[in-house]
Amino acid sequence: MKAVVFPGQGAQRKGMGVELFERYPRLVEQADAVLGYSLHELCTDGADRLIDTRYTQPALFVTGYLGYLDHEHRHGAPTMLAGHSIGEFVALAAAGALDFIDALRLVDRRARIMAAIRDGAMAAVIGPGRDEVDALIVRMGVDGLEIANENSPTQTIVAGLSGEIDTFVERCREAGTRAVRLRVSGAFHSRHMRPAATEFAQALRETSFQPPRIPVIANVTARPHDAQIADVMAAHLYSPVRWMQSVHTMLDAGVSEFVEIGPAPVLAPMIDEIRAGWRPQRRAAVAEVHWPEFAPPPVAGAHAALAAALHRLYVEPAASAADWAALWTCGLDVAGWPPLELAATPRSVRRQVRRALETLIPAAASAQHADPSSPLHGRHP
């Protein structure tokens, strides 16, 4: 089985797509008309603009989509598709969930909305895994940061305000941990993008989506897109990119070959590292329950009320440690329930609550399956 994957921002290069523009002149002409500028000029002479989010995202989308058309013509359609951040829009268009022009209009709108959110930054932490980076953020006293991308076992991206990122990078350097500030203009895939997501959601609601002809793995859930594409792609702006988990999903499904279509091999090294540490998962006795964060978790039975209360606290801007402590005692019978940590700030509380929800959801699903009265009992996907 083969999967085709598309990179996100950071993969752009001067001169990218030139040969594709010559091969698909009609589509390029349509794209130029939508965007109001020449993609050929942007990609050949617009080096300064090419690192500007407003231009980077449309350029990566068009070159990725044309590259996919070229690949499909030569090698046929893959079994699965996935994209990293803006690359997910390429995957959705390649799968037929979006018309090329509709997708480009969305990407252009998304890029402009995101570029308007100022004073954000991101940094890559090289070496420690996601949980270690979470602990680093707390230990170094830069609590405003959030995990934005889980790229591989040794590469995690954090996002936050510009000053917070600078402080974090400096304290990592002092502690002997490698952290590199990225050349991006915002705190993408973090809570700072929620205002952008609210505005972008309107554009998504006005767009017609079709069921994908090829499964597309979503960054937000690390599972194939379903009928909630518009909701998921709105949440995509402020939710972490779960790339490592997405690759695990494809490997578990039987994908053995990955083809990256983009200006430079950005995803391929990550996939190689992820694959090296991957172990096949046994088929679950009950379909896993996934929580895309923007909606209450789908938990039924004895723990439904606890799940709903935890979700309300998770989305509460002023979540308090006292509220978390009170809810924590209600989950002591849940297998693997995390230890209580009395966080000092609302963001720390959110991290603890999320960990509790990520423990509760599969535990509740397993309990439903074990209950003879449950409709899930005895069913195997």
Cα 195 to the center of its chain, rounded Å = 17
138, two tokens:
């707390």
| CB within 8 Å of 189: residues ≥ 6 apart | 85, 148, 149, 157, 159, 236, 237, 238, 239, 240, 241
- CA of residue 304 relative to chain centroid, distance: 26
Token digits for 333? 């019978």
Residue 85 a catalytic site member: yes
- The amino acid sitting at 335 is A
Edge-to-edge order in the sheet of strand 146-152: 146-152, 155-161, 120-126, 178-181
Angle at 357 between CA 351 and CA 363, to 5 degrees: 145
Catalytic residue of the set 85, 152, 190, 348? 85
Please confirm, yes or no, whether 189 is among the known catalytic residues.
Answer: yes
Check if the beta carbon of residue 177 is closer than 8 Å to that of residue 147: no
- Active-site residue identified among 84, 152, 185, 189: 189
Report whether 273 contacts 244 (CB < 8 A). Answer: no
Token output for 104: 């480009």
The answer to whether 155 and 132 have CB atoms below 8 angstroms apart is no
In 3-state terms the chain splits into helix, strand, coil percentages (rounded to 5) of: 50, 10, 40
φ/ψ of residue 2, rounded to 5: -120, 140
Active site residue ranges: 85, 189
